[in-house]
């Protein structure tokens, strides 16, 4: 899937669940629970050893979901997530080495930005859709508005401290194509295999996005 198609999927979904998973055997059921609630994108982070296997399982067994690799911070991880079937990659920051590896791999990438210097590096590399992280700690909505002055070409996926309580504030900005958040996949719900709860949270988020966007 090319970058334009990935961005279109992100816009259409509006919310990207950020998954930190301890047991890869739960990944498929988790992804299916999200899809059942109307969320067809899953960002599986590499924060835990099970992350790569979980990503591969979702890419293989839940083709209706866009499998996104998160927390990719080294060039070596780029090849790993490509081999696992990732269709896009998200990172918490910007790295020229990771940028080069992803261009060579042909995978769409949302690098993380939080400052004007970060944005300059992203623009210089031709990366115009970025993760704004950590969103709330980096200034939230007001920071995105400020950065959009000198960088009107950038689009953002704010992640970090985003939830139903401030979803509307972020999605009201034309520069924001979607938001990322872990509130859709609470650790206790995943550990207890409470897929009905995950589906309900996904449904609430999906319905809120639709209501906000008319």
* Residues designated catalytic: 43, 131
Separation between Cα atoms, residue 19 and residue 24, nearest integer Å: 11
171 burial level (CB within 10 Å; 0-12, 13-18, 19+): buried
Separation between Cα atoms, residue 53 and residue 19, nearest integer Å: 13
Closest to 60 (Cα-Cα) out of 34, 42, 39: 42
Q: In 3-state terms, what secondary structure has residue 1? A: coil
Separation between Cα atoms, residue 208 and residue 214, nearest integer Å: 10
Side-chain-side CA neighbours of 39 within 13 Å: the count stands at 37
Triad 142, 144, 150: Cα angle to 5°: 115
Asked if 111 and 122 count as a contact pair (C-beta separation under 8 A), the reply is: yes
């Amino acid at each position: 899937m090319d970058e334009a198609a990935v961005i279109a999927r992100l816009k259409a979904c509006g919310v990207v669940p950020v998954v930190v998973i301890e047991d890869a055997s739960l990944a498929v059921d988790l992804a299916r629970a999200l899809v059942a609630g109307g969320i067809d994108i899953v960002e599986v982070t590499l924060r835990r050893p099970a992350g790569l296997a979980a990503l591969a399982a979702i890419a293989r067994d839940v083709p209706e979901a866009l499998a996104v690799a998160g927390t990719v911070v080294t060039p070596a991880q780029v090849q790993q997530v490509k081999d696992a079937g990732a269709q896009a990659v998200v990172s918490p920051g910007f790295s020229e080495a990771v940028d080069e590896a992803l261009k060579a791999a042909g995978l769409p990438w949302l690098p993380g930005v939080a400052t004007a210097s970060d944005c300059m590096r992203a623009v210089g590399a031709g990366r115009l859709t970025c993760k704004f992280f950590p969103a709330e700690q980096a200034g939230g909505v007001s920071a995105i508005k400020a950065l959009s002055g000198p960088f009107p070409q950038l689009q953002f996926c704010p992640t970090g401290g985003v939830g139903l309580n401030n979803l509307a504030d972020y999605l009201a900005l034309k520069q924001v194509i979607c938001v990322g958040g872990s509130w859709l996949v609470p650790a206790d719900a995943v550990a207890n295999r409470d897929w009905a709860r995950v589906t309900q949270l996904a449904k609430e988020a999906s319905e809120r996005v639709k209501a906000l966007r008319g």
